[in-house]
Amino acid sequence: MSRLSQSVDHATALLEGADLAADVAVRELLEITAPRRSMDLSDLSPVEQATLIADRCQQLQPSAEALAKRITSAAEKGRPFIAKLGIDPTGHEVHLGHAVPMQILSRFQRMGHQVVLIVGDVTAKIGDPSGRSDERPPLTDEDIARNLATYRQQVGPFFDFTRAQFRHNGDWLREVTLPRLIEISAHIPVSMSLQREDFRKRLDAGEGLSLAELLYSVAMALDSVEINCDIELGGIDQFLNMQMCRKVMEICGQIPELVAATALIEGTDGTGAKMSKSKGNYVPLTAPANEIFGKIMSVPDRLVEPYLRALTEWRDSEIAVVDARVGDGSVHPMDLKKVLAGEVTAAIHGVDAAMKAREEFVARFSKRTFGEVEDLPEVADLDQPLTEVVKSLGFAKSNGDVRRVAQQNGLRLVVESADGQRQVPLSADDLRTSLADVLKDKLDGQSGDRYLKVGRKLARITG
């Protein structure tokens, strides 16, 4: 029996009978599942390895069987099996959505395969056009270096950078001659790029589409040619880019790589939009433990299962057990969500920090009234504009962050009195108004204890 199977059996026995509302049971579970993120998987057979990868891919091309055969072939030839992930460091903040393919890459690494990260110091200057309605602003070499350094630090909990090969695609893309580029491009139909829905929409709307963007996927493909890649990982939004890699490898006389495309996880706001910084519905990897826990607790119940699949090392059999218990009423959906929040928090900050965040969440949000919650930050200066109040509390980093919370109906005044609790939503139009005027306008002299609620964060108004 493999190490992973032993862990799954141990966790399954706990999930089948434990009280998942109890801290003791949840800690025991996290102490079983969290170590899987660093577990040695080299004792799995090629078929088991392929199954483990396929279970968490939205698309695995051509198939899991083809992946198992390629792993076996590499071993028989005495060569490393090469798994590739491209990183275009176009931003400095990484969120949970970015970590999904990193988890799959980590599994390849722990299976004993060669992992190669291609740093797009050239392609980042074009910017991946996938899903965009406009062109990206150009990046300098300094921007790219700074973003990459931040990226390594942030993704560290999900992946061991120290054991990976790092290659910069500028090392070979700067050497590509125009005749060589024309030779390759002559075999690629323009229709292959224009089948992309995002490109078609931009052209139909009369918006810009540069030749550099059309060449992005060709440049990315030359990365795969350079390392003679066996499998490439990326989000499902990269699927067409990775198809180009297969095409160009074939043009260059190589066996086309396999493609493993992971699902894009939905954002925390429950609107159906993918997790995105621009929409404010993301969980940054730099967030403290209690913030990560709280953001996961804010997602709709329907996202618990896809989050368990995408963001944890749980197997399908374990998810099926808890789904059945939720169905028969022996596990409350809120308790399962707390387990999920603990799993994600433990991945970044460890089990102890996750359990502390769980304790603080229960203390803060499971009380009957906010008045019972201790150690709330306080707002005494009511003359500040509402936006500045929220930022001074540390509940948001920028005016844009505050506006997004308001637009998502997450900014509220709360009044508690002997008659109960009243919550008053605040709109983006209220943000420039002083808190004193907002209170006067919205509460109309109603007495009671007053609070400012920003998403899952809470402050007591004392002024």
pLDDT, tens only, 25-35: 999 999 999 99
pTM, two decimals, is 0.76
Q: What is the mean pLDDT of residues 242-253?
A: 94
> Is 460 or 211 the better-scoring residue by pLDDT?
460
Task: Report the distance separating Cα 231 and Cα 84, nearest Å.
Answer: 6
Please state the domain count of the chain: 3
Query: Cβ neighbours of residue 315 under 8 Å, at least 6 residues apart?
Result: 4, 8, 55
Q: What is the CATH classification number for the domain harbouring 349?
A: 1.10.240.10
Looking at per-residue pLDDT, the higher value among 66 and 149 belongs to: 66
Q: Are residues 298 and 350 in the same domain?
A: yes
60 SS3 class: strand
Q: Are residues 358 and 382 in the same domain?
A: no
Q: Are 31 and 75 contained in the same domain? A: no
Q: Does 53 fall in a domain?
A: no
Radius of gyration (Cα) for the chain, nearest Å?
25
Residue 88 near residue 244, CB atoms below 8 Å: no
- Do 418 and 331 share a domain, yes or no? no
Q: Which residue type is seen at 6?
A: Q
CA distance 254 to 232: 15
Q: Are residues 245 and 108 in the same domain?
A: yes
Give phi and psi for 359, each to the nearest 5.
-60, -45
CATH (domain of 436) = 3.10.290
Q: In the chain, what percentage of residues exceed pLDDT 70?
A: 92
Query: CATH code at 132?
Result: 3.40.50.620
Question: Would the pLDDT of 374 be above 70?
Answer: no
Half-sphere exposure of 199 (CA within 13 A, CB side): 22
Task: Estimate to the nearest angstrom the gap between the alpha carbon of 205 and the chain centroid.
Answer: 30
CB atoms under 10 Å from CB of 414, counted, come to 19
411, 319: one domain:
no
Kindly tell me if the per-residue pLDDT of 59 is higher than 90.
Answer: yes
Domain that holds residue 5: 1-36+285-366
User: Which of residues 305, 340, 366 is at a domain's end?
Assistant: 366
pLDDT at 371: 65
56 falls in which pLDDT band (50, 70, 90)?
A: very high
Residue 252 and residue 138 in one domain: yes
